[in-house]
Homo-oligomer: A and B are copies of this chain.
């Protein structure tokens, strides 16, 4: 399960065996994905940022399960849309490396559209 590709193949078998393709429209999978993302957010909503970085073991295990759920729906959605997930990530990383040059982005969380280009 080291690669996106391997995950995709195992999920295909899993869904075919259960005849779940009929539910897995991209619209529905996007909904399922955001629901899992919210289950992740729920773990952190009342914690301070410091606490969120230092979870007790049982909470960390629960968070790892939510993280896995998000990954599973993301791989599945990409598969159904014929998106090459590994290629999409590589392309977006290249875009980000351009949009956020270290000398402008260092130490601030501005969106690239908010950079002060007056210099």
A residues whose Cβ falls under 8 Å from a Cβ of B: 1-5, 7, 10-11, 14, 17-20, 22-23, 25-28, 30-35, 37-50, 52-53, 55, 60, 63-65, 67-72, 74, 77-78, 80-81, 83, 85-93, 95-97, 100, 102, 105-107, 109
Q: Is the CB of A67 within 8 A of B48?
A: no
Q: Is the CB of B93 within 8 A of A1?
A: yes
Distance in angstroms between the alpha carbons of A110 and B71 in the assembled complex: 21
Q: Is the CB of A72 within 8 A of B92?
A: yes
Distance in angstroms between the alpha carbons of A11 and B97 in the assembled complex: 10
Partner of A63, one of B7, B11, B34, B83: B83
Distance in angstroms between the alpha carbons of A36 and B3 in the assembled complex: 22
Distance in angstroms between the alpha carbons of A80 and B64 in the assembled complex: 12
Q: Is the CB of A26 within 8 A of B53?
A: yes
Distance in angstroms between the alpha carbons of A72 and B30 in the assembled complex: 16
Q: Is the CB of A30 within 8 A of B48?
A: no
Partner of A46, one of B28, B74, B86: B28
